[in-house]
Homo-oligomer: A and B are copies of this chain.
Amino acid sequence: MKHSFSLLIGIHPVDSALSKAPQQLRLITVADECRNPRVQELVVRAREAGIRIVSEPRTSLDRKSGEQRHQDVIAEFEASNLGQEKDLDRILDEIGTDPLVLVLDGVQDPHNLGACLRTAEAAGVNLVILPKDDSAGLTPVARRAASGAAEVLPILIVTNLARVLRRLKERGIWLAGTTDSAGTGLYETPLTGALGLVMGSEGKGMRRLTSELCDYHLRIPMHGSVSSLNVSVATAVCLYEIVRQRQAR
């Protein structure tokens, strides 16, 4: 897998990475002016874990963080959970039986992307696949919304999503798309077994080719006059129905 560095900004993201994947933290930078005991506690733990720590003026952290609130601490994170299409087969081999894959076909809002990742991790998703183009990236905003999930979930960022979907099917993984209108009811569809849940973008839904590659389309029941659910909510409702069915199996 490609090892890319990303910046974690603020106490919670750094704390979360320190707890869950300390070996991937390369450098923690703390503001000279920092008097926050929560940051100081982080520094103690990071030191124990053998992570390099440097101190810089707060203005330097301001510059590196852009618009994000850094709370006097940022860190360089080596994102070894990120991969590309070439890593797909190896990861599927590692997962073993009945993988649960989440495909996000062009989610635009980094908050939504992060929220989807947070829920995916909680629901036991084994692998997330994002298209490289026309999708929100794993920006600091998305990572913060993901609440630690972006640093631990295996995520493939792929240039040719259709080819990857075809490969999933060749590997015996059924693809379940989602739709506002037609399709089978979410609660009437068996969702155990090897499964890829495919969610579209906010507003537009799945792209045509993506939709055509799905083996079936799930419809979430809508009882009110509001026309659709937020994409991160729709993702959660589908993923947790999969959790329920797997649990009941």
Contacts and interface: CB of A to CB of B under 8 A. Distances in A.
Nearest to A114: B230
A243 interface: yes
Contact of A148 (B225, B229, B232, B243): B225
Interface string A124-152: 10000000000000000000000111001
Contacts of A148: 225-226
A145 B207 CA distance: 24
A163 interface: no
A118 B236 CA distance: 14
Given A121-B226, A224-B122, A229-B236, A241 B244 contact: yes
A178 interface: no
Nearest to A243: B221
A209 to B, nearest CB: 28
A241 B111 CA distance: 24
Given A187-B247, A221-B247, A122 B236 contact: no
**Number of identical monomers bound together in the oligomeric complex:** 2
Contacts of A119: 229-230, 233
Interface residues of A, number: 36
Contacts of A123: 223-224
Contacts of A118: 226, 229-230, 233
A115 interface: yes
Contacts of A49: none
Interface in A226-249: 226-230, 232-233, 236-237, 240-241, 243-244, 247-248
A240 B220 contact: yes
A222 interface: yes
B237 A240 contact: yes
Which one of A20, A222, A226, A248 has the highest number of Cβ atoms from chain B below 10 Å of its Cβ? A226
Contacts of A149: 224, 226
Contacts of A224: 121-124, 149, 152-153
16 contacts: A20-B225, A118-B229, A119-B233, A121-B225, A121-B226, A122-B220, A123-B224, A149-B224, A149-B226, A221-B247, A229-B236, A233-B233, A236-B237, A240-B240, A240-B241, A241-B244
When A and B form their complex, which 5 residue pairs have the shortest distance between CB atoms, in order from nearest?
Answer: A124-B223, A121-B224, A233-B236, A237-B240, A187-B244
